Amino acid sequence: MKPVVTRFPPSPTGFLHIGGARTALFNWLYARKTGGKFILRIEDTDEDRSTKESVDAILESLEWLGIDWDEGPYFQTQRKEIHDRYIEKLVKDGHAYYCACTPEEVNDMREQARTRGLKPMYNGRCRKRGLSNAPGTVVRLKTPGSGATVVQDIVKGDTAFQNAEIDDFIIRRSDGSAMYNLAVVVDDLTMGVNVIIRGDDHLINTPKQILIYQALGADLPVFGHVPMVLGPDKARLSKRHGAMSVSEYRDMGYLPDAVINYLVRLGWSHGDQEFFTRKELIEKFDLNHLGRSAGMFDIGRMTALNAKHIQAKPAAELVSPLLPHLKTLGIEAADDLFTRQVVETLQPRSRTLKDMAAAARFYYVDAPEMDEKAVAKFLTPEVCDMLNQAADAIDAVSEYTQPALEEVFKKIMADFNLGFGKIAQPLRVAVTGTTVSPGIFEMLLVLGKDRTVQRIRRAARLA
RNA sequence: GGUCCCAUCGUCUAGUGGUUAGGACGCCGGCCUCUCACGCCGGUAACCCGGGUUCGAAUCCCGGUGGGAUCACCA
């Protein structure tokens, strides 16, 4: 058994988007699962649109997702000599030829075919002219013209394309650069890529690529064309659907593990299982359970998964990814015990790290901002004495622990003849400024005795 | 328009000839409870349509409809 070699070949014309991340993921997972190799190759032959910034952004997003590569990044533009060598071999072997037809002439051919109700194609005029390489000529592949080329696809099954539908397409431009189909095949071939998982928008290119493999006398890789990711309007996901770059989700407070989990699950299944750790994904991913139909990107589902991943992780692992979100709110927190405890109290009630940062705010500010409605409702004159007594009693405990606090509250409940809820809620508002927070004990304990007492006294003055 | 792909609850999906069509997100109830969550329990909701094949089709075949992709000296 030859080891599996997969690859991800983004064009650096923008950020890494959700759809691209998903195909990268499928290839990466399969390589990792089988102990094979995963190659990163930048397809930058469209020099007008390719930018260095895009390359950097893509690499950064892949790294953030935890998708690492064993080889590369290779750059297609740096492989011109290799492409040339193969193109020349194709010409020498009679599988390709030089063509001097101008774009205008080819357009005319297409137009004529169209008016006669035929498929617009290049008519193969230069095929037998025996032209040699001259400025302005392109190289075309000699295609069969009859019969069929079958794509054996592991997700779509066998798909036959009539060769009569495929004209002698260009493999090298007049400026000497290789066309996409030639470049991919040569790169994949020379890099030893033997499993290709990509979007099904490439399915139609595949017969052309197979023709090149065959002309080169090479073995075919395994193809798997996965369906596209759709936006909420069921149209292919694009910029106008709003956020779709991986880095935006990072900024919105999603965990890489959650993004990965969601993306893989969108188009692949393992029975009824929804939640996967990264390790499980590598263990369980396979090519047999890739779905054939397009899936809609549903941020709600990803958010739900994110909440589960936040809950499942040890608090310590959440601290450093949380820090930037706190900083956005103007909070300079440190990766310390305090923040770890803050995180622990917020884990079950945060769907994103952004939510968590917002909910954590009261822990860090000197005086929490008091919500007017909460103050009006709970910090009434009647609770003033109760608050003062609570502050004094808490201040007086020798050990600031949950049992000690429970004792304090018990006494207050008896002294003022109030239920627990009647004292907890005013205290919550006193300490956090709002009616929503983690459990009263865990929160007070994390906040610390001094700040707790100080905040209750301040609230008593407001009451 | 030609070619190709696809079609199970609103969404993601399980299902490969015999199931009360299962799970998850969402939504709606309830329980738990110091708030909000978490968690737990229950409910809502689907096999695109029409023909076949078969004792029996969500599952197989054909046709339709709908959606998507692609038709470059872009990738």
**Total H helices, total E strands in chain A:** 19, 12
Q: Give the pLDDT confidence score for residue A241 in this predicted structure.
A: 66
Residue type, A202: H
- Asked whether A178 and A147 are in contact (CB, 8 A), the reply is no
* Candidate CATH numbers 3.40.30.10, 3.40.50.300, 1.10.10.350, 3.40.640.10; the one for domain A365-463: 1.10.10.350
pLDDT by residue (tens digit) across A281-304? 999 999 999 999 999 999 999 999
**Strand B closer than 7 Å to the CB of A265?**
yes
Q: Is residue A367's pLDDT more than 90? A: no
CATH 3.40.50.620 fits A5-74+181-229, yes or no: yes
pLDDT by residue (tens digit) across A17-43? 999 999 999 999 999 999 999 999 999
Q: What confidence category does residue A243 fall into, taking pLDDT thresholds of 50, 70 and 90? A: low
Average pLDDT estimate for A139-154: 94
Per domain, the residue ranges of chain A are: 5-74+181-229, 81-172, 239-310, 313-360, 365-463
**CA A219/CA A210 separation, integer angstroms:** 9
**CA A203/CA A381 separation, integer angstroms:** 73
Average pLDDT estimate for A337-354: 97
Average pLDDT estimate for A350-368: 96
- Asked whether A41 and A8 are in contact (CB, 8 A), the reply is yes
Q: Give the pLDDT confidence score for residue A141 in this predicted structure.
A: 96
Average pLDDT, chain A: 93
Q: Give the pLDDT confidence score for residue A120 in this predicted structure.
A: 87
Q: What confidence category does residue A265 fall into, taking pLDDT thresholds of 50, 70 and 90? A: very high
Q: Is residue A240's pLDDT more than 70? A: no
Domain spanning A239-310, CATH architecture: Orthogonal Bundle (1.10)
User: A104: burial class by Cβ within 10 Å (0-12, 13-18, 19+)?
Assistant: exposed
Question: Residue A435: helix, strand or coil by DSSP?
Answer: coil
Question: Residue A90: helix, strand or coil by DSSP?
Answer: helix
Q: Which fold has domain A313-360?
A: Helicase, Ruva Protein; domain 3 (1.10.8)
Within 7 Å of a protein beta carbon, the nucleotides of strand B are 2-8, 10-15, 22-26, 34-39, 67-75
Beta-strand pair A222-226/A195-199: parallel
Q: Give the pLDDT confidence score for residue A233 in this predicted structure.
A: 74
Q: Give the pLDDT confidence score for residue A239 in this predicted structure.
A: 62
The strand ranges marked E within A52-201 are 71-75, 96-99, 138-141, 148-153, 157-162, 170-172, 195-199
Average pLDDT estimate for A235-247: 73
CB atoms within 10 A of CB A167: 22
**CA A241/CA A127 separation, integer angstroms:** 46
Q: Which of residues 327-356 of A touch strand B (CB under 7 A)?
A: 348-349
Higher per-residue pLDDT: A460 or A307? A307
| Nearest CA among A374, A365, A373 for reference residue A454 | A365
Higher per-residue pLDDT: A232 or A281? A281
Q: Active-site positions of A?
A: 239
Q: How high is the ipTM of this complex? A: 0.94
Average pLDDT estimate for A175-188: 95
B40 C1' to A382 CA distance, Å:
37
Q: Report the percent of chain A where pLDDT is more than 90.
A: 82
Average pLDDT estimate for A167-174: 95
Question: In DSSP terms, which residues pair with A152 in a beta bridge?
Answer: A158
Superfamily of domain A81-172: Glutamyl-tRNA Synthetase; Domain 3 (3.90.800.10)
Q: How far is CA A54 from the centre of its chain?
A: 15
pLDDT by residue (tens digit) across A40-97? 999 988 767 788 999 999 999 999 999 999 998 999 999 999 999 999 999 999 999 9
**Strand B closer than 7 Å to the CB of A224?**
no
